């Protein structure tokens, strides 16, 4: 039927068109291992789109199921072929058809693989487009469905067209070293094979080179040349055994291998006890072979080997349930992504790639339940994976019983307990380190809500303050505050008041008259010096005023001495970087002042309430239980200061610590240092000078 429908068509290579559906059906049967129905659908996959045949014709002749698969393939063919960019909407379509019948995507992968194998006949720009698309989406998709052999071939073929020179050079070197490699492989494996067979097991030992693409990735990652890569090939030992004896016998073979060669203890991977979510099972080890070369050895049964090559399709042949549940779980994650209405097209593709194509990690809950997450996930992602309420209240975690921060990247096999607090709320900086789509969207929603409720508290604080000072709580007065503090909205004003960023308790900058407030006129002296400053940045008579009204003057705080408001400072006119502000006591001050006196500008600070500056404090004291707790309590609760980092070294009962924190000015810092000195056990407190 397919031959008849395509009889007048030819491929770009000049061959009859039927060769393409035939080749796709062959890949589906031999390389993926699907059954009759998929083969029929593969032979007919282009007919509805390109010929006079309709879906009705197909359903009449071959039944409803084949019709559904061909319909799925018709909907998505052309999705990636036309248009210059990968459109997320089209990609969504592919994923939605995938959830109807997984065979749709398997046949689509076979179709793409054959197109890649025959890409020579296409125009150069078409080759580049199809190759990069394949590397971007199809190869990871094949990998995710466990079709390892297809993934490797797709990556190699894509590289052949996108990086032809590198591809050719690695490929040539692989050919040149082929004979030497084969000699090494037989020298390595002959004694092992003899021993395995002596113990009554049947096995096959293969040595296959790594793919060109994976060698290139290794060269890039390790920054080495081809000759320096030690594991150019892997030895695979496949044993013929019953399913119930597999695990024990694979370990027995491992023991035989390590009788001959020393294993590298850091390179043992047991995918037999916990298979990957693609269904991949195998035992990997790296051993020191003859001539001092490391060799990767993979040990697996015949069943495991077939699953490793053919993925889910082979699973069905052995045990339907395992494959079904893994695919279902994957599809339900795709659905979760598709249901996030806010994500724009490009975010969607990025989240999809990140959450579904990434290597995953397996993490355990405290009671031993297994959760899978994309690689790179943090403790906070894990918390949101459990439940969004757990994520929102998360303050830290214990990974393998050790305390870790929220941003701690998890590794496979970690057992993670999430620590929560009813006082915790999602923070803005959480978005910098979570990777799962679920965590991102929940945090964004929570932040919007939180700002509104905090602002409500700020509004009440302001109302009470106004009432106490007998000032009317009306729009005119609120606008006066907004204008004076240069705040864009009332929401922001209330939020800053609630957070203590804005201290409006004394309202000393305003005059009050009959319940109305007006900002005091600025002192003429500062205004004068500012005009002076702008007119001419020359000589020591000028004064640089640092503060809110100075948006037009480009100044930077120098990192060699980290000046903060209240310090005695001076400005130094640099070439190209505006004015740099240094402390008078800066280690570089003397040199600057003596060599470049003509480029020195006097400077002083004005009111700096909104901005927090980073400053450092160094302390020494007697190391006693709870000292860190006492220090952080003074800093965060009594003086409401944000700490950036605290590091404490203890040596024979004496501790030496440095704290980096954000303060408003020198007065603020002095007050804090005074408080710290009062803590029992602290001997000295000083400011850290260098940045």
Question: Residue 233 pLDDT > 70, yes or no?
Answer: yes
Residues forming the active site: 49-50
**CB distance 263 to 289 below 8 Å:** no
Question: Which pLDDT value is given to residue 81?
Answer: 43
457-460 long-range CB contacts below 8 Å, 24 or more apart? 457/494, 457/498, 458/493, 458/494, 458/495, 458/496, 458/497, 458/498, 458/499, 459/494
Highest mean pLDDT: which of 109-123, 132-146, 341-355?
A: 109-123
Residue of 564, 572, 624 lying closest to 597 (CA atoms): 572
Backbone phi, psi, residue 617, to 5°: -125, 135
Q: Give the tens place of pLDDT for each residue, 570-617.
A: 788 777 677 888 887 777 776 676 666 667 777 766 555 555 677 888
Residue 582's SS3 state is: strand
Helices (H), 77-176: 88-98, 102-117, 124-133, 139-144, 148-162, 164-176
Question: Residue 231 pLDDT > 90, yes or no?
Answer: no
Question: Residue 278 pLDDT > 60, yes or no?
Answer: yes
Question: Residue 632 pLDDT > 50, yes or no?
Answer: yes
Indicate the pTM of the whole model. 0.53
Q: Give the tens place of pLDDT for each residue, 102-127.
A: 788 888 889 999 999 998 888 887 88
- Does 338 or 482 have the greater pLDDT score? 482
Question: Which pLDDT value is given to residue 345?
Answer: 46
Question: Residue 533 pLDDT > 70, yes or no?
Answer: no
Across the range 202-208, mean pLDDT stands at: 88
Fold of the domain built from segment(s) 2-162: Hypothetical protein af1432 (1.10.3210)
Q: Give the tens place of pLDDT for each residue, 422-440.
A: 888 888 888 888 888 788 8
* Helix H or strand E encompassing 205: strand 202-209
Across the range 369-386, mean pLDDT stands at: 86
- Going from the C-alpha of 143 to that of each of 360, 561, 621, the distances in angstroms are 12, 53, 57
Length of the chain: 691
pLDDT band at residue 153, thresholds of 50, 70 and 90? very high
The tokens describing 662, both together, are 């954000």
Question: Which pLDDT value is given to residue 540?
Answer: 33
Rounded Cα distance between 684 and 618, Å, is 8
Question: Residue 660 pLDDT > 70, yes or no?
Answer: yes
Q: Kindly give the interhelix angle for 64-76 and 36-43, rounded to the nearest 10 degrees.
A: 50
Rounded Cα distance between 2 and 52, Å, is 11
Question: Residue 401 pLDDT > 80, yes or no?
Answer: yes
Across the range 265-291, mean pLDDT stands at: 83
Q: Give the tens place of pLDDT for each residue, 24-57.
A: 999 988 888 788 888 999 998 888 888 888 888 8
Backbone phi, psi, residue 350, to 5°: -65, -50
Which single residue is written with the structure tokens 């205004």?
527
Q: Is 674 exposed, middle or buried (0-12, 13-18, 19+ CB in 10 A)?
A: exposed
Q: Give the tens place of pLDDT for each residue, 79-100.
A: 444 433 444 455 555 555 555 6
Residue of 552, 570, 553 lying closest to 561 (CA atoms): 570
* Helix H or strand E encompassing 246: helix 246-260
Q: Give the tens place of pLDDT for each residue, 291-313.
A: 777 888 999 999 888 888 776 65
CATH superfamily for domain 613-687: ACT domain (3.30.70.260)
Fold of the domain built from segment(s) 173-318: Beta Polymerase; domain 2 (3.30.460)
- Show me where the domains of the chain are located: 2-162, 173-318, 445-519, 524-605, 613-687
- Going from the C-alpha of 475 to that of each of 125, 472, 524, the distances in angstroms are 63, 9, 29
Buried b (16+ CB within 10 A) or exposed e, 469-493: eebeeeeebbebbbebbebeebbbb
| Percentage above 90 pLDDT, the chain | 11
**CB distance 518 to 510 below 8 Å:** yes
Question: Which pLDDT value is given to residue 607?
Answer: 53
- Dihedral sign for Cα 427, 429, 434, 435, please: positive
- Does 316 or 377 have the greater pLDDT score? 377
- Going from the C-alpha of 331 to that of each of 76, 443, 677, the distances in angstroms are 17, 24, 59
The tokens describing 129, both together, are 């487009």
């Amino acid at each position: 039927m397919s031959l008849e429908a395509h009889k007048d068509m030819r491929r770009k290579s000049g061959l009859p068109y039927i060769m393409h559906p035939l080749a796709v059906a062959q890949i589906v049967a031999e390389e993926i291992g699907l059954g009759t129905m998929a083969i029929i659908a593969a032979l007919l996959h282009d007919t509805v789109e390109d010929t006079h045949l309709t879906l009705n014709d197909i359903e009449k002749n071959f039944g409803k199921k084949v019709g559904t698969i061909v319909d799925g393939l018709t909907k998505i063919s052309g999705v990636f072929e036309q248009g210059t960019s990968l459109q997320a909407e089209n990609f969504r379509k592919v994923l939605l058809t995938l959830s109807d019948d997984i065979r749709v995507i398997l046949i689509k992968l076979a179709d793409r693989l054959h197109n890649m194998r025959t890409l020579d006949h296409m125009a150069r720009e078409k080759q580049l487009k199809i190759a990069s698309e394949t590397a971007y989406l199809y190869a990871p998709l094949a990998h995710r469905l466990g079709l390892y052999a297809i993934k490797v071939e797709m990556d190699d073929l894509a590289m052949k067209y996108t990086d032809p020179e590198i591809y050719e050079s690695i490929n040539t070197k692989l050919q040149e070293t082929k004979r030497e490699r084969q000699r090494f492989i037989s020298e390595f494996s002959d004694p092992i094979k003899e021993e395995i067979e002596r113990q009554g097991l049947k096995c096959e030992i293969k040595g296959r080179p790594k793919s060109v693409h994976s060698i290139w990735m290794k060269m890039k990652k390790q920054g080495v040349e081809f000759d320096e890569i030690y594991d150019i090939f892997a030895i695979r030992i496949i044993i013929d055994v019953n399913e119930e004896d597999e695990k024990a016998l694979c370990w027995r073979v491992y023991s035989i291998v390590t009788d001959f060669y020393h294993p590298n203890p850091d390179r043992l991977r047991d995918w037999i006890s916990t298979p990957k979510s693609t269904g991949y099972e195998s035992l990997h080890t790296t051993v020191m072979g003859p001539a001092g070369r490391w060799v990767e050895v993979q040990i697996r049964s015949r069943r495991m080997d077939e699953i490793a090559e053919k993925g889910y399709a082979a699973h069905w042949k052995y045990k339907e349930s395992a494959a079904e549940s893994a695919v279902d779980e994957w599809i339900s994650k795709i659905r979760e992504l598709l249901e996030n209405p806010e994500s724009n097209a490009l975010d969607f593709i990025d989240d999809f790639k990140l959450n579904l194509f990434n290597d995953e990690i397996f993490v355990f809950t405290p009671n031993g339940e297994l959760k899978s997450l994309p690689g790179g996930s943090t403790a906070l992602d894990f918390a949101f994976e459990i439940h969004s309420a757990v994520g929102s209240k998360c303050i830290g975690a214990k990974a393998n019983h050790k305390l870790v921060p929220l941003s701690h990247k998890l590794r496979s096999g970690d057992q993670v307990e999430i620590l929560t607090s009813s006082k915790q709320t999602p923070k803005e900086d959480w978005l910098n380190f979570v990777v799962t789509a679920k965590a991102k969207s929940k945090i964004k929603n929570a932040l919007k809500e939180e700002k509104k409720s905090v602002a409500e508290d700020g509004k009440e604080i302001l109302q009470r303050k106004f009432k106490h000072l007998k000032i009317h709580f009306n729009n005119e007065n609120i606008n006066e505050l907004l204008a004076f503090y240069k705040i864009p909205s009332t929401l922001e004003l209330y939020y800053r008041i609630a957070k203590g960023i804005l201290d409006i308790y004394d309202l000393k900058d305003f005059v009050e008259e009959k319940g109305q407030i007006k900002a005091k006129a600025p002192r003429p002296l500062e205004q004068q010096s500012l005009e002076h400053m702008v007119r001419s940045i020359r000589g020591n008579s000028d004064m640089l005023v640092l503060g809110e009204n100075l948006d037009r003057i480009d100044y930077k705080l120098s990192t060699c001495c980290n000046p903060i408001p209240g310090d005695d400072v001076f400005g130094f006119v640099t070439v190209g970087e505006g004015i740099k502000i240094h402390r008078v006591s800066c280690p570089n001050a003397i040199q600057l002042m003596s060599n470049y006196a003509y480029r020195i500008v006097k400077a002083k600070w004005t009111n700096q309430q909104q901005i927090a500056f980073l400053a450092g404090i160094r302390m020494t004291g007697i190391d006693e239980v709870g000292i860190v707790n006492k220090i952080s309590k003074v800093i965060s609760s009594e003086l409401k200061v944000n700490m950036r980092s605290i590091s404490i070294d203890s040596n024979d009962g004496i501790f030496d610590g440095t704290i980096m924190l954000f303060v408003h000015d020198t007065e603020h810092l002095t007050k804090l240092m005074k408080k710290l000195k009062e803590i029992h056990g602290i001997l000295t407190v000083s400011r850290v000078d260098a940045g």
